[in-house]
Structures are given as structure tokens and as C-alpha cells.
Structure 1
Amino acid sequence: MDNFFRVEVISQTPNPQQVIYAALHQDYSDTFVYDERDHFPSEEECGEIIIKRLLAGGRGHYGPMEHPQIVFNCGYFPHSVMQQARTHRVGVSFDCQSFRYTGKGIARLGLELKLALSKYQNLTDCLQNSPELKDHLERTIYLRPVGKYRDRQGKSYKYAEDDLLDDLVECARLVINYSNKLESGLSEEHARGLLPFDYRQHFVVSFNVRSLMHFLDMRAPANAQLEIQQMCKLILPHFLRWTPAIASWYLSHRYTRAKLAP
């Protein structure tokens, strides 16, 4: 997994399994369930009730799970991940870092690279002899790690250290060009078109329990892009801590199985 990818929780509904319990209980109760809130089953017991009444045996009653919300801050993911993630809009909201306004960090990196070029013969030497500069570049522009991969037709190939270095050098040239264009007066929204496609972006995304499972259904299976699979893996520990009974059931019955999303 890429060393820079991050998923952190900004906020979440407390006692989410009790909230779902209250919703399903109201469906079948002629009482005003708010008045019973001090006598609700425990969070753990509510989780067991949800599995039994809503999920087990293929029941698929997902409606009550639309009430609790969790908000994630996702960081350092390539632009291609954001493109895929934002296609899931039902019960999901996104706010994404815009490079119309946030290109100053990349411009500074361009200046650092130009300064390094005054000390070394070429960009290859710069990156090979300056680990901090190489780290800064890899934190800014995403390239897949060295390793073995398969294309969409199943053909295997190797991405070697030399390949990565060559591609980092090309990315460095584009970052320097971006910095030069800003200096010449281009706007950030104009100059960003000159950057490598997979510059890293941060975004905030909110899910309810149902839409979170839908997202994982669609983007965790092995046929999804590797980077968004890794995003799903980083989401899972938060899901398990937040709604342990539901998340455990999900892992056992749906996760990576490419079932039709609820």
C-alpha cells in the first residue's frame, strides 16, 4: 500500500446501531420511540437485533441504515481515485481539494527542483542524491510502487526501479514547467492541465451506513482499481469500530464479493 494514503474520521453519529434500532423499532411500534430511548437495548444488543431483523438470511432491509452518518477525510490519493469515488452519489457527499486554488505547494516543489538542478547535472541525479526531494515529489504526484501488476486483460508485467525513476524524472519536469507557467502569469486553473494526471488530492466524504456498504461493494472487489481498493481497506477499521456488528456481518457476507450493491 502507498505510504502516504490516509483515511481519518472527522465526525460520526454516536451510538449508530441504537439509531438504526430506533428507526426499525418505529416502523413496527405505535409508541413514540423517543420516549423509550432510556430503555433501548445496548449498542451491542442493537447490533445483534439489526443483523437478525434486517440483514440475516438475505432480508436486505437497508432503509433504517440510512440514518447514521460518518465523515472521512481522505488524503494523498491520486486524482483517478477521486474520479471513481465521486460517481457514487446516493447518500454520499464530497468536497474535494481544487487545484484552481491550491497549487502553491506544487509551485514551491518546482522551485526546489530548479534549485537542485543548479547542484547536479540533471534531474535523475537530483532525485537519486536527494531523498527528501524525491519524497516530496512522491508525496505530490502519485506513481504506483515498484512491483508486479496485471493489465485489464490479465497480462502480467513488472514495474521496476528504473521505470519508477524514469517516470519520476518526467513528473519532475512537468512540475518545474507548472511552476514556470505560474511565474509567467498563467492562472492555477490553466496551468494545472500541464501536471501529471495523478496529482494527489485530499477530500472529505460523508456516508450513511447503507451508502458506505454500497461504496465498498463497488470499489473493494479485485476488479476495482488498486488504489481505490486500498482506500476501502483504510476505511474498514473505522467501519468496524463505528458499527462493529454490521461491519463484521458485512465482512463475512459481502466484502470483495462483487455482489449487487444494496
Structure 2
Amino acid sequence: MDKFCIEVIAATANPQQVVWAAMHQDYSENLVWNSRENWPNEQRCGELIVKHLLAGDRGHYGPTEHPQITFNVGYFPHSMMQQVRTHRVGVSFDVQCLTGSAEVTFVNCNGETSEKLNKTIGELYELWTNGEKVVLQRSSHGRNGELPGSYHCDCKKRIRRMRLRVLNEETGLFENGHIKDVISSGIQPAYRVKLEDGKTLDCTVNHRLFTSKGWQTMGDAVGLVTSADGSVVNMTKPCFVMCNGVKEIEFAHTYKPIQQLQNWQSKPKPIGNKLRAHPVKVVSVEYLGEQMTYDLEVEGQWHNFVANGMVVHNSFRYTGQRIINVAEGKQDVEEVFYLRPVGKYTNRQGKRYFYSEEQRASDLQWCLEACKHYQKRIEEGLSEEHARGLIPFDARQHFVLSCNLRSLLHLLDLRWKKDAQLEAQKFCELLYIHFEQWTPAVAQWYHENRAKKAKLSP
């Protein structure tokens, strides 16, 4: 469980004051805002919430629904994710995505791009979902017999044929790919990444960027530290994002002067002007607030595309590349799959057993063989959705979780009880650390009265 991590992306500032205001307004005839300068401070509001709202299980917990908090969660097993999602109320789960302003790079048949060819991901979603608006004059009819007037024409086929600039991650040269799907991912906290050369990209904290160190989430790449309201406090790591590069001539092989006749070979031919990705330093990250976000699903071997000149990961949809990376020895098995540590265990039915070092080593080998089997089926033409049924269930998952204070209490009640899945208990333990920092008085009351007691949420 050493890889498990949870960080706060954004949270309502002064949450206990917010709850106190909502609670006070329920019983006050006057507008609470008019006397805000006389409000109790955050600590005192927490004490009043406990005394007048939470203590004694009075049952009127609506005011706790106003403060919101968003977490970035990493490296938990899939089975834990399934447990956490069960019986949840008011908890939202999401993965990586970009804001609608991100400009996606397309190229012509010569590999050249232009402003006319490029479109924002928001425009692509509108065209993909609603089609292209067409106006027919009185004297014309549509190709399918549409009468003159205004209507929307489906253009998914045309978008699929457009040449998308993607990066060959082995050679570092840009190639062409194609869009498979365009998805809306809803409203999420967004950040603006600015590079040394002036490029900017608006994305979520867990969107993966192709950096000089490989694929990393934006937050991990820059070592992002944020305050409770989501604003950026500091970047603790230097980061270089791979971007649209410079042209260079690539030769099929190295040409050497002919010394002997038997060594003669035809003169190598240039394979054309190729664009190579190059690293550019990140200079700042700025919090933008909640924004509508979108994802692309990319066909082909390389699951990436160029947005605002930066190489970003194929968003949202499962690609299985990390499974193939394990099969090829490019990624460690335990970075992709979770296995419990060696030790003694018992379940809620009372079954007791010891998970040995030998068993764990054998299970790790089984995970590796499953990855190789997965790779074989992909090479044989199976879709990723089909082949992923062959891999071990507990692949690690990264996700963003958003909830209000009341939903957070409900989640802890369900999954921090003593007979819950061990990984779910660890998840709640890490959640509680941030809960205590965010609303200390409420968290203390919860720990003393409800934590690990399997009570239903207030």
C-alpha cells in the first residue's frame, strides 16, 4: 500500500463558516450576509456546528452539503474503486481531460499544419455531437433530399478522416493518427500550464503530459502544491514538456564510402523532412477554477495528440498501453498491478490465512504472463475493451473524486468500518488526514463519535 496517495486539488475556503451561515440562515429572518463582519471565525463556527447541528444526532444536516472538496487519488486497486463507488451518494469520479480551449493540431497530406486546419477540442465536441450547421437556399436540396432551410449535417466521418498529429514515442518524430471519439467529461477544476516559450495549456491536474521523463500527470510532473481553495502555492519540481519540434532530415541508414566492390550498396535516400519533439520548460501553473472539460480517444499505436503545441495523452478511454509496457519490460509489474503485502489476513466471514512470499512471487509472475497474453491478443487484432478481460482484476487506477462535506461523511461511514476491504480502509485513512485539515472541528467530532462504527451517514 506504499504507493497509495491522495492530494487535495481544490476545496471551499472557510468551510465551517459556510456551514454555520447555512445553519444560521435556516432559523434567521434576516439575511445572514448583512452581518458578515460579525460572523464567528472559522474555529468558533466549527464549535457551533458541533454543538447545535451535529451533537445529539439531531438529523438536520442539509447545511453540510454546501462546502465542496476535490481529491486527486492515485495507485489504488480496481477492486477498491468498485467498493468505494458502491452505495455512494453525491460523490463524483473522473479521470484526465482538457478544457474546451485546447487547440488540437491537424495536418494536411504533406504533414503541414495551419490555423485553418486546427480546431479547439470544444469545437470538435460540438461538431462530433451536434453536427455541422448547413443552410440550404430555396433552389437547392441536400444530398439526402433535405428541403431548403437550416439543419445540422453529421460530420463524424469527416472528422475521423482528418489527419491528427501524433508522436511516435520510440523515434521522437511526429506522425499522423485519427480521432476515434470525442467525449465531454463535465465540469472539473482546471489549471493553466505555461511554458518558457509562451505556450499555454488548460487541463486538469491529473492530465498526462509527455515530459522529458516520460508520461506524467501534470500535478506530479511539476510537483504541484495547492491551497484549500485550489490556488497554486508552489511548484516543487522542474519539468520539461515535449512540444512541436524542428524539422530535420532523417536518412534510412548511414552512408559510407565504397572501399571494395562487394560492399557496394545503393545511395541512401532521405525519408523526408520530419518534425522531432523537443522539451520546453514549464515556468508557471495557474488555477482557473471550475471549467467544462473534454477528452479525445485516438486510434492507432500511439495514444497521444498535440494540443496547443504540447504532446498530451490520449484522454479518458482505456488503451492498455501500460499493460503492453509491462509485457515489454518498460514498466514494473507492481507499478501497474496491486498485490497485498506478505502477511496474515482475515476476512469478514472469519477466514484466516497467511499470504506467503512464495505465493506473492508466483502471483507477480502470473500478472506478467497475463500482460504478455494481452499483448499477443492485441497483436492478433482484438480490441482493447475485449482483451482487457484477460488481465488481472486489480490493475491500479488513478482518479479525481469530488464531494460535499455531507457526502464525505457518508463515504467514510461506509468504507472506514472495521470489516471493510483493507485497501478501502487505507483509502479512508488518507482521506481523513485532509478532512481534518479542512474542517478540524467537524473531523474531531466525527472521529470521536462515528469513525469506524459503521453508522449511516448524517
Q: TM-score under structure 2 normalisation?
A: 0.51
Aligned to 2:318: 101
What letter is aligned with 1:199? A
Name the one with the larger helix percent: 1
Aligned sequence identity (%):
58
Instruction: Decide which moves more: 145-154 or 180-189.
Output: 180-189
**Contact 1:100–1:188 (8 Å) recurs in 2:** no
1:110 aligns to what?
Answer: 327
Q: Is the 8 A contact 2:69 2:403 kept in 1?
A: yes
SS in 2 for 1:72: strand
Q: How many residues align?
A: 240
Whether 1:159 and 2:355 are equivalent positions in the alignment is yes
**Higher Rg of the two aligned structures:** 2
Structure 1 residues 176 and 70: CA distance shift in structure 2, 3 A:
same
Q: State the alpha-carbon separation in 2 of the partners of residues 252 and 81 from structure 1.
A: 26
2:345 pairs with 1:149 = yes
* 1:187-198 equivalence runs, <5 A: 187-198=383-394
CA deviations on 1:63-101 (whole Å, 9 max, x unpaired) are: 100000111111111111111111244221112579843
Residue 85 of structure 1: aligned partner = 84
Q: Is 1:206 matched with 2:205?
A: no
* Offset of residue 180 of structure 1: 2.2
Q: Cα 1:88–1:71, aligned 2, differ >3 Å: closer, same or farther? A: farther
- Cα contact 1:107–1:182 (8 A) shared by 2: no
> After alignment, is 228-237 or 89-98 more displaced?
89-98
**Counterpart in the other structure of 2:14:** 15
- What is aligned with 1:62? 61
Q: Which amino acid aligns with 1:16?
A: P
SS at match of 1:57: coil
Partner of 2:382: 186
Q: CA deviation at 1:153?
A: 2.2
Asked if 2 retains the 8 angstrom alpha-carbon contact of 1:17 and 1:43, the reply is yes
Within 5 A, what are the aligned runs for 1:114-125?
none
Equivalent residue, structure 2, for 1:117: none
In structure 1, the gaps of 5 or more residues are: 114-132
RMSD: 1.7
Q: Which string of whole-angstrom CA distances, capped at 9 and with x for unpartnered residues, describes residues 214-237 of structure 1?
A: 111110011111110110001011
- Matching residue of 2:456: 260
* Counterpart selection for 2:432 from 236, 239, 260: 236
- Asked if the contact 1:174/1:194 (under 8 Å) is kept, the reply is yes
Superposed displacement of residue 184, structure 1: 2.7
Cα 1:81–1:259 change in 2 (3 A) is: same
The question of 1:216 aligning with 2:412 is answered: yes
Task: Find runs of 4+ consecutive structure 1 residues off by over 3 angstroms.
Answer: 96-100
Structure 1 residues 89 and 221: alpha-carbon distance in aligned structure 2, compared to 1, 3 A threshold: closer
Deviates more, 1:219-228 or 1:79-88: 79-88
2:28 alignment partner AA: S
Amino acid corresponding to residue 103 of structure 1 in structure 2: G
Structure 1: how far apart are the matches of 2:316 and 2:400?
Answer: 15
Given that 1:111 and 1:179 are in contact with CA atoms closer than 8 Å, whether structure 2 keeps it comes out as no
